[in-house]
Amino acid sequence: MMHPSNFKFHLIATERLAFDRALEILFLEERKVRLWTVTDDHWLELHAYGIEGPKLFPLPYEMNVDGAKEFAWGWLVSQERPHTPYIDHDGSTNENAFEITKGQWGCLCRIRKEWALYYK
């Protein structure tokens, strides 16, 4: 098992295959996630460990990479465009564009909808 600080990961893409492969890479470190949250800045975070509380919720069951892929993709495609001024969108972005990064200290990965994929 890799130590959590042994690598960094960041991906911005549109394809489901890229999404699945990204989670497979991130799950090399931990085999299951148990908790989840959505941050104020619209990131879905999947946690391998942590303390349940008002902002960190248990998943219905411990999920391996396959379960987490379905859960996270379902969440991603259900997101509606937030009404915030930071989105610079010119209409050329695929509705399934996303960003995935590696979390820290218990957070296996962070995922959010990417509304300005081409940064035009």
Give the model confidence (pLDDT) of 6-32 as tens digits. Answer: 678 999 998 999 999 999 999 987 789
Interatomic CA distance for residues 38 and 56, integer angstroms:
8
Residue 4 lies in a domain: no
Residue 99 lies in a domain: yes
Single out the residue of 31, 25, 22, 16 nearest to residue 77, CA to CA.
16
Give the model confidence (pLDDT) of 64-106 as tens digits. Answer: 999 999 999 999 999 887 655 555 555 555 567 899 999 888 8
**Residue 31 sits in which domain range?**
10-113
Residue 46 lies in a domain: yes
Give the model confidence (pLDDT) of 45-63 as tens digits. Answer: 999 988 888 889 999 999 9
Q: What is the pTM of this model?
A: 0.82
Residue 5 lies in a domain: no
| Sign of the torsion angle spanned by Cα atoms 16, 69, 30, 107 | positive
* DSSP string covering 39-59: -TTS-EEEESS---BTTBEEE
List the alpha helices (DSSP H) in the chain: 16-26, 65-78
pLDDT for the residue numbered 2: 47
Residues 42/112, Cβ–Cβ less than 8 Å:
yes
Interatomic CA distance for residues 115 and 80, integer angstroms:
10
Residue 58 lies in a domain: yes
Residue 118 lies in a domain: no
